[in-house]
Amino acid sequence: MGLPPKSGSSKTTTTLKWVGFVTAVWVQSISGNNYTFSNYSDALKTLMNLTQLQLNNLSVAKDVGKAFGLVAGLASDAFPTWLLLLIGSLEGLVGYGAQWLVVSKTVSPFPYWLMSIFMCMGGNSTTWMNTAILVTCIRNFRKNRGPVSGILKGYVGLSTAIFTDLCNALFSNRPAEFLMMLSLIPFAVCLTAMFFLREVPPSSTPSEISDESKYFSWFNIVAVVVAVYLLGYDFVGSKGDAFNLAFSVILLALLATPVLIPAYIAIKSWIDSKEKADVEDPKNEPLLAEEKQDVTVTETESVLVNGVGKKLQPVLGEEHTIVEALKTIDFWVLFVSFLCGVGTGLTVMNNMGQMGAALGFSDVSMFVSLLSIMGFFGRIVSGTVSEYFIKKAAIPRPYFNAASQILIAFGYIIMAMAIPGSLYIGSIIVGFCYGVRLAITVPTASELFGLKYYGLIYNILILNLPLGSFLFSGLLAGLLYDAQATVTPSGGNECYGAHCYRLCFLVMAGACVVGCGLDVVMGMRTKELYKKIAASKRSKSVVNGR
């Protein structure tokens, strides 16, 4: 259950909040395993003698696990964060552990239906982790939702590259070892986060909110360094055992670096308490009465009552129940536009192994890593930039989604043309825009419908992942590929050439143009809300003396 906001927070609580955020970053760094299917899909296809449609339906089963995130959403309002993390880590241990047993040939391949269940469990495990992290952190840092979403979703984007490059460095990118990492590492990291991540009272003074922004800037810098480091390794490639070991050690050290931020906060608080034991800090001015209110008000305030005591539908920016949110046109516009962006992006991620093979690439780890790293930049840049332009010009976040839809459509057209380097260009564009879509939608939903039931609202939106995977990857890409493919003696099939996915890319480009139109509509419908949000942010800056 969420803690009620308080007028202030102790130095110890502040430090604990930041330690929790660091562990949240670590969990997000390993919770993008749902996007790594291309790294071991060929091994599954060969061992189980699957057609492309059957393989794609396995990837759909993985994404269907996201649909059961509704359970995690409901649980987030009733159970503590640590329990959600425990459930997610155990489910991932079983789901990916079973796939490791098959790919490592420890056991004979499971029946197709049973393998689908294990794939579903692996996919569902991340919904528990992500729900626990996002709900807790956005409530803890509710005045900085854009940067929080950008950083956390950014590390999810990096997680695929982290897993891929570590496996490449330590195990020569062998699928069995890769699946072993997917099963064991998230379990260990979640066990650590269980002890530190919890809901605490949010910052309530202008100086505290300003300090949060400064610390988030440092998280951004560290994240960018990690991303550039991974990108450098991808282009340099393996240079021997010693080089690979050094790369792995430095990468782990960089991932541990954020812990220096709460350490600095704790030391600074201790020094300040020594020097100013009995002196009031003039920076800690109380918020003005009108600034103590979020744009999203409480449920009691959001309920309008007519002459006979009947509740009316709350307006955007107020707290919505699940039913109230689902009754709005805005929710469904956001839902469908989200489907166009993430559904098509998932298709590229799930099919990259076969897309690369069709164009003559025997190893697609570079493209998987590029998708991941560019997804990180899309997430982290969009979260920070959208927050800046809301404050400066009251530009609604949905307009950033609209821009990403046009850009990703352009990326699909380039991939359809199959010009030299198109897979590199496409991976960069699709990864970046997919990241923007995820990072922008997370705070947008909370700003439109409030935080009280945010865990469940977020997971209803995430239903777009299995739905988009089924429509664009399972049906569109799978059927079109099989129509062009040649049956192999083992019972599977293969397709080589640009024609294998050309029509698929063009259809996805058209879907994203539709999504762009819906995002523009959403931006127009929320202009007044974002003017209020911008005014609130500016008033806090004035109170803080900036």
pLDDT digits (tens, 9 = 90+) for 177-195: 889 988 999 999 999 999 9
Relative orientation angle of helices 69-76 and 112-140, to the nearest 10 degrees: 30
CA separation for the pair 68, 70 (Å, rounded): 5
Which residues are within 8 A (CB) of 226 and not within 5 positions of it... i.e. 6 or more apart? 158, 251, 254, 255
Torsion, Cα of 511, 368, 370, 152 (10° steps): 80
pLDDT digits (tens, 9 = 90+) for 283-294: 444 443 334 444
Structure tokens at 221: 């810098």
CB burial string 253-262: b at 16+ within 10 A, e below: eebebbeebb
CA separation for the pair 177, 199 (Å, rounded): 36
In the numeric block, the tokens 């969009």 are attached to 382
The DSSP code for 79 is S
**What's the residue count for the chain?**
546
Structure tokens at 56: 């794609």
Which has the closest alpha carbon to 477: 57, 64, 49? 57
CA separation for the pair 374, 439 (Å, rounded): 13
CA separation for the pair 21, 17 (Å, rounded): 6
Residue 418 one-letter amino acid: A
Question: CA 349 from chain center: how many Å?
Answer: 14
Structure tokens at 83: 């329990």
Torsion, Cα of 454, 457, 462, 467 (10° steps): 180
In the numeric block, the tokens 């950014």 are attached to 154
Return averaged pLDDT per consecutive 10 residues of the chain, 546 residues in all: 42 83 92 78 86 82 79 85 93 93 91 92 89 88 80 83 84 85 91 90 76 87 90 77 89 92 85 65 43 43 41 82 91 93 87 84 81 85 86 91 94 91 91 89 87 83 84 85 78 81 93 95 93 80 52
